[in-house]
Amino acid sequence: MIAYCGIRCYECAAYKGTVTGDETLLAEMNARYGTETTDAIDFVCLGCKFADVRLIATDCAACAIRACAMAQGKDFCATCAEYATCDTVKPYRGDGTTPRDRMNAFLRAKFERATS
């Protein structure tokens, strides 16, 4: 699955931990990106396109990119005419050298914001 923002969910430890039942991956995500109020359960995730938000990582369920793409009826925010100038997506683009760099920059920024 590819998220609205372009992240490949199958590369995300939260998604992998959820679909394989590997609770250690969820615990590692919480240890690395969680706060004093989160637990590994907050990182259970079947991808942001999953209908039941209880099975989407807490931060991803509340993602502004997800909400915008859904409101615009887009499968991916990159298909939106405003993508190049979008203020919602801009902070997560990374340096843009490779898709993996963009994904890592996005994840890092997203979870750093969640912990601040």
Residue 80 falls inside a structural domain: yes
Q: How many whole angstroms separate alpha carbon 91 and alpha carbon 26? A: 25
pLDDT in tens, 63-85: 999 999 999 999 888 888 888 78
Residue 4 falls inside a structural domain: no
| pTM listed for this prediction | 0.73
Nearest in space to 65 (alpha carbons), one of 103, 15, 16, 31: 103
Asked if residues 6 and 76 have their Cβ atoms less than 8 Å apart, the reply is: yes
Residue 3 falls inside a structural domain: no
pLDDT in tens, 38-68: 999 999 999 999 989 999 999 889 999 999 9
Residue 99 falls inside a structural domain: yes
Q: 91 is in which domain, residue-wise?
A: 9-115
Q: Count the domains in the chain.
A: 1
Q: What are phi and psi of 3, to 5 degrees?
A: -70, 165
